[in-house]
Amino acid sequence: MHSGAASQGHPRASWLGPRQTMLEVFIALLSCVVCRICAFVMEVIIQPSQEAASLLAAKMIASLVRRKPAAVLGLATGSTPLGLYRELARMHREEGLDFQRATTFNLDEYVGLAPGHPASYHHFMRENLFRHINVAPGNTHIPDGLSCDIPATCEAYEASIRAAGGIDLQILGIGSDGHIGFNEPASSLASRTRIKTLTPRTRADNAPFFAQGEEVPHHVITMGIGTILETRQVLLLGFGLKKAEALAAAIEGPVSPMVPASALHFHPRAHVILDEAAATRLERTDYYRHVFDNKPVWQKQ
């Protein structure tokens, strides 16, 4: 609907969108302030493919790093963020995206695996991201799976996140059982970095990353759900039919420790970026697409 002022021929401010009135802009600004104070937002973004979703996530991260070169990034492992990491590496190589001042914290690591073990998350991060960008090795953090004092290691991990000023943006994948990090179903929604025991399902899901016949560890160190909820922004990526059920439970089901990703409804700024296959069990896809396609300009940054 056009504004009364515009239809009466009054000049419009050049920065107003074609359908915006001053009142709408005022309301938008007000809600922006309110959002920052108290709103909890879970934005569901459905992309045509895994590649498109990875590119969008990479753009969001690049925009943060350009705006805040000393950004603190929370990183994830698994097959899900591989396309995103490839794109960040390309942006570094071809567009000069600079990670020199960035700091990173990984979500988790297997207990008992040395950093050189091919299935360790230390190895994964080195091979798939760190060696392709210019992040300073001293600025990267991954829980120490060989620690002799795991509670102290976990406490120190939380302390170093705090000392870095907190995590600006956390990347997450999702387990087929709805876990985030390695917070398996029934994890406390207030949990902090700690040791966890993996479920047989997660061990089976992650077996392909291990050599044939090699046992997947039973124990891991993982940031807690409470730790993740304290990050300033979350990008949860979910791809493929295998994740569709967990994502539907997390997005449209009740918030429950049985679906750890559902805790993101309590996150102040969570974006869930899916490909079409991962969105197949959602009921409100038309609405999510409509919202994304009609975002007000001020929300697009």
Residue 78 binding ligand GLP, by CB under 6 A: yes
Residue among 128 and 147 whose Cβ is closer to ligand GLP: 128
Instruction: Please pick, from the candidates 45, 174, 244, 249, the single residue that binds ligand GLP as defined by CB under 6 A.
Output: 174
Please tell me the distance from the alpha carbon of residue 222 to that of residue 215, in angstroms, as a whole number: 19
- Indicate whether 80 belongs to the interface with ligand GLP (CB under 6 A): yes
Q: Does 182 bind ligand GLP (CB under 6 A)?
A: yes
**To the nearest whole angstrom, how small is the minimum distance from the Cβ of residue 206 to ligand GLP?**
6
Examine residue 263 and tell whether it contacts ligand GLP (CB under 6 A): no
Contact present, 267 and 40 (Cβ < 8 Å): yes
Nearest 10 degrees: CA dihedral of 9, 13, 17, 19?
Answer: -30
Indicate the burial class of 36 (C-beta count within 10 angstroms; 0-12, 13-18, 19 or more). exposed
Q: Give the contact letters, 183-222, x = binds to ligand GLP (CB under 6 A), - = no.
A: -------------------x---x----------------
74 lines the binding site for ligand GLP (CB under 6 A)? no
Binding flag, residue 79, ligand GLP (CB under 6 A): yes
Cβ at position 137, least distance to ligand GLP in Å: 22
Q: Which two tokens stand for residue 237?
A: 């990526």
Which one, 136 or 241, has the nearer CB to ligand GLP? 241
Strand, helix or coil for residue 73? strand
Closer CB to ligand GLP, 12 or 242, in the complex: 242
Would you call 253 helix, strand, or coil by DSSP?
coil
Of 45 and 97, which CB lies nearer to ligand GLP in the complex structure?
Answer: 45
The 3-state secondary structure of 81-147 reads: CHHHHHHHHHHHHHHCCCCCCCEEEECEEECCCCCCCCCCHHHHHHHHCHHHCCCCHHHEECCCCCC
Contact characters 92-121, ligand GLP, x per CB under 6 A: ---------------xx-------------
- Based on the shown chain and the rule CB under 6 A, indicate whether residue 77 belongs to the binding site for ligand GLP: yes
Q: How far is the CB of 185 from ligand GLP (least distance, A)?
A: 12
Residues 157, 60, 293, CA angle at the centre, nearest 5°?
135
Residue 230 Cβ vs ligand GLP, minimum distance, rounded to whole Å: 17
Structural contact between residues 250 and 286, judged by C-beta atoms closer than 8 angstroms: no
Contact call for residue 143 and ligand GLP (CB under 6 A): no
> What positions carry a catalytic annotation?
108, 177, 179, 184
- Nearest residue to 56 via CA among 65, 46, 66: 46
DSSP string, 179-234: -BTTB-TT--TT--SEEEEPPHHHHHHHGGGS-TTPPPPSEEEE--HHHHHTSS-E
User: Where do contacts with ligand GLP occur on this chain (CB under 6 A)?
Assistant: 76-80, 107-108, 173-175, 181-182, 202, 206
